[in-house]
Chains A and B, each alone.
Chain A
């Protein structure tokens, strides 16, 4: 395993792979620093550029975006008090007060180095667990896969948003999108309403791009022209000189907290569709609970910054585990990666690591190297990234929409995908306005085909429906699906649902 990893790292050091990784990380940091631009938006913008690249080149760029984005968000959080993205909200709670106390450099670099160490701890989990989990999934038949996908959907529906009914409905709408097109057994057109370009089905990438791009952009457009405060108006670049040895010691002298909050991040990353924003807030909450001085949180304590930033970067490692071992994306960024892989004819899942070892270990290597590149980029350009807030959204949004159109079109050089993008843009914005969470919809769209194929395959093998319940793993997964829904209902009833996963700001 470690030989393969070393080979992967050596391979990644070739300019052919290193350059996309470095550029991706740089773009990720810039996107992360830009308030209102999430990692999903940044990776969607990068997606069309990866079509002409080799799979590992494209994935390296996307992993770079992911790592850079998780770290870039802390720049404006710490220095301006404006979270660059939802997963750096908790970083602001202590990062900004510390900056206001005259230690902006310390606040910023505590976050950056905590991201680095948290990310590397997530990397250990990624490298160590993907293989064994994939081996476990190799024992799965169609019954188990069906039940696993149902479990993933029910869990996401229960964890996102304020209402379990709306979460489940959103997931069901996602499944409805996948039944449009030819049926997988005999190829008979279904629900195409006579529209020719719908016969091939609806590919999930234009759906994902449309839903997320429009939901986010239109949400910002709604507020345009009404905001009284211009963040750029008060922009004064502070002095950020700091002793890196001191900052690193400040982090490493709290090993238990670093390990625990990184573990929280990894765990949330493994759960589909919850994302870095929940990891960031939950880790902050954990650090506060375990601290001997909880009253200091919110006033500029280093623990608050370290916990929240270590968690959101280790969360990336967890997200990559689920996609590589099971083929289930951990969040929207890994969903885009899944799409990029399928374009190249590669299907992530239990066989991925054994059939594509070069690519799999290349992904591990890109993840590890990406953190070193992130540090280098921050050392050189952190002062400049602060100026990112000066870019007007009236320029940014048209560019993003053009890239969305090119991304959808370039999937197979057809306008049909652009029409899907437009329709799903309307759907995404409509869903946000209608109070439906987007995460279950996307997971429904991604898993819908697989759910149908595995259901049909299992029933064609044996039409005994009880097998779904009597086969141990399948039965356990279905039991967990019901339990997760009941748990969410119970939690909702008791009114204990906290705002850890913001409905509109969720990463997925």
Chain B
């Protein structure tokens, strides 16, 4: 039997909740308090597992629907990848350098510039966003943005 989208959702949530439920069995009760640390999580995870099972069971009666199609998933993956790199690089490069690179890379990913003017706009947007956000947050709003371990900048 082929699982539908809802079926996969229910199955994933069921497995996740059962795994976490198993973890809660390792939580030890404290004799000083009547309600232990695992009491509430077990209730929540048990309810989650039941609901996930319900969604999974419901999916067996649903017809398998074809997706709308035409979604640009490679671009979505690209955006996620650039964003992960940005967040991963920030502690090492610092906010300013990583943000300039991220702004340029993501604009390039979303719409590669063909003409020289578009490249200038891309670079200027990256630079202006970084400079404005840095000075606004650090100077005016007193938010100390991350410095890079490698760059100290």
Contact = CB atoms under 8 A, between A and B. Distances in A.
Bin the interface of chain A by size.
35 or more
B137 A406 contact: yes
A169 B40 contact: no
B145 A406 contact: yes
Contact of B40 (A186, A217, A452): A452
Bin the interface of chain B by size.
35 or more
A188 B137 contact: no
A79 interface: no
Given A222-B73, A398-B107, A190 B24 contact: yes
B75 A434 contact: no
Interface stretch (A2-10, A32-40, A332-340, A453-461): A453-461
A326 to B, nearest CB: 21
B129 to A, nearest CB: 6
Contacts of B39: 456
B27 A188 contact: yes
Interface in A378-425: 392-395, 397-399, 401-403, 405-406, 409-410, 413, 415, 418-419, 421-422, 425
B120 interface: no
Interface string B105-149: 011001100000000010001100110010011001111111000
Nearest to B30: A186
Contact of A397 (B37, B72, B110, B136): B110
A402 B17 CA distance: 33
A230 interface: no
A173 B48 contact: yes
Contacts of B103: 398-399, 402
Interface in A185-231: 185-186, 188, 190-191, 193, 217-218, 221-226
A392 B106 CA distance: 13
B110 A394 contact: yes
Contacts of B30: 185-186, 188
Contacts of A190: 24, 27, 37-38, 41
A392 B37 contact: no
Given A163-B58, A452-B40, A221 B27 contact: no
B106 A398 contact: yes
B79 interface: yes
Contacts of A429: 76
A183 interface: yes
Contacts of A133: none
A465 B116 CA distance: 71
A397 B78 CA distance: 13
A169 B79 CA distance: 28
A75 interface: no
A410 B12 contact: no
A395 B107 contact: yes
A298 B74 CA distance: 39
A301 to B, nearest CB: 33
B93 interface: no
A324 interface: no
Nearest to B137: A406
Contacts of A191: 20, 23-24, 41
A350 interface: no
A166 B55 contact: yes
Interface in A454-497: 455-456, 459-460, 463
B140 A221 contact: no
Contacts of B76: 218, 221-222, 429
Given A401-B106, A422-B83, A176 B34 contact: no
B152 interface: no
B140 A52 contact: yes
Interface in B36-65: 37-41, 44-45, 47-48, 51-52, 54-55, 58
A175 B106 contact: no
A52 B141 contact: yes
B106 A397 contact: yes
B9 A435 contact: yes
A48 interface: yes
A168 interface: yes
Nearest to B58: A165
A267 B146 CA distance: 44
Contact of B12 (A193, A392, A406, A434): A434
Given A418-B90, A435-B9, A460-B34, A221 B40 contact: no
B110 A393 contact: yes
Nearest to A422: B87
A434 B51 contact: no
A340 to B, nearest CB: 13
Interface string B10-35: 10110011001001100110101111
Contacts of A179: 40-41, 44-45
29 contacts: A49-B136, A163-B58, A169-B10, A169-B13, A169-B48, A172-B44, A173-B13, A176-B17, A176-B45, A188-B27, A190-B24, A190-B38, A226-B70, A226-B72, A395-B125, A397-B110, A399-B103, A402-B102, A403-B133, A406-B137, A406-B143, A415-B91, A421-B87, A425-B80, A426-B80, A434-B8, A435-B5, A435-B6, A460-B34
Interface of A: 48-49, 51-53, 163, 165-166, 168-169, 172-173, 175-176, 179, 183, 185-186, 188, 190-191, 193, 217-218, 221-226, 392-395, 397-399, 401-403, 405-406, 409-410, 413, 415, 418-419, 421-422, 425-426, 429, 433-436, 448, 452, 455-456, 459-460, 463
Interface of B: 5-6, 8-10, 12-13, 16-17, 20, 23-24, 27-28, 30, 32-35, 37-41, 44-45, 47-48, 51-52, 54-55, 58, 70-73, 75-76, 79-80, 83-84, 86-87, 90-91, 99, 102-103, 106-107, 110-111, 121, 125-126, 129-130, 133, 136-137, 140-146
Given A165-B55, A221-B79, 6 more contacts: A166-B9, A393-B110, A395-B121, A398-B125, A405-B86, A410-B141
